[in-house]
Amino acid sequence: AQRVTQPEKLLSVFKGAPVELKCNYSYSGSPELFWYVQYSRQRLQLLLRHISRESIKGFTADLNKGETSFHLKKPFAQEEDSAMYYCALMVNSGYALNFGKGTSLLVTP
Amino acid sequence: DVKVTQSSRYLVKRTGEKVFLECVQDMDHENMFWYRQDPGLGLRLIYFSYDVKMKEKGDIPEGYSVSREKKERFSLILESASTNQTSMYLCASSSADNSPLHFGNGTRLTVT
Which tens digits make up the pLDDT trace of A2-52?
Answer: 589 999 999 999 999 999 999 999 987 778 899 999 999 999 999 999 878
Q: Examine the pLDDT at B96 and tell me if it is beyond 80.
A: no
CA–CA distance, B49 with B26 (Å, rounded to integer): 16
The mean pLDDT of B12-39, rounded to a whole number, is 95
Q: Find, among A25, A49, A35, A26, the residue nearest to A105 by Cα.
A: A35
B33-37, B94-98, B106-110: least confidently modelled range: B94-98
Whole-Å CA distances, A17 to A83, A106, A108, B24, B49: 16, 12, 10, 41, 42
- Average pLDDT of chain A? 91
Residue A17, chain B, CB below 8 Å: the answer is no
Q: Examine the pLDDT at B2 and tell me if it is beyond 70.
A: no
Say if the Cβ atoms of B98 and A99 lie within 8 Å: no
Q: Examine the pLDDT at A67 and tell me if it is beyond 60.
A: yes
Beta strand spans in B7-49 (E): 10-13, 19-25, 31-38, 42-49
**For residue A82, what is the DSSP state?**
-
Q: Across chain B, how many H-helices and E-strands are there?
A: 0, 11
Using pLDDT thresholds of 50, 70 and 90, give the confidence band for residue A92: low
Using pLDDT thresholds of 50, 70 and 90, give the confidence band for residue A54: confident
Say if the Cβ atoms of B56 and A9 lie within 8 Å: no
The mean pLDDT of B61-79, rounded to a whole number, is 97
Under 8 Å CB-to-CB from B105, ≥6 apart: which residues?
Answer: A43, B5, B6, B9
How distant is the alpha carbon of residue A14 from its chain centre?
A: 19
Say if the Cβ atoms of B101 and A46 lie within 8 Å: yes
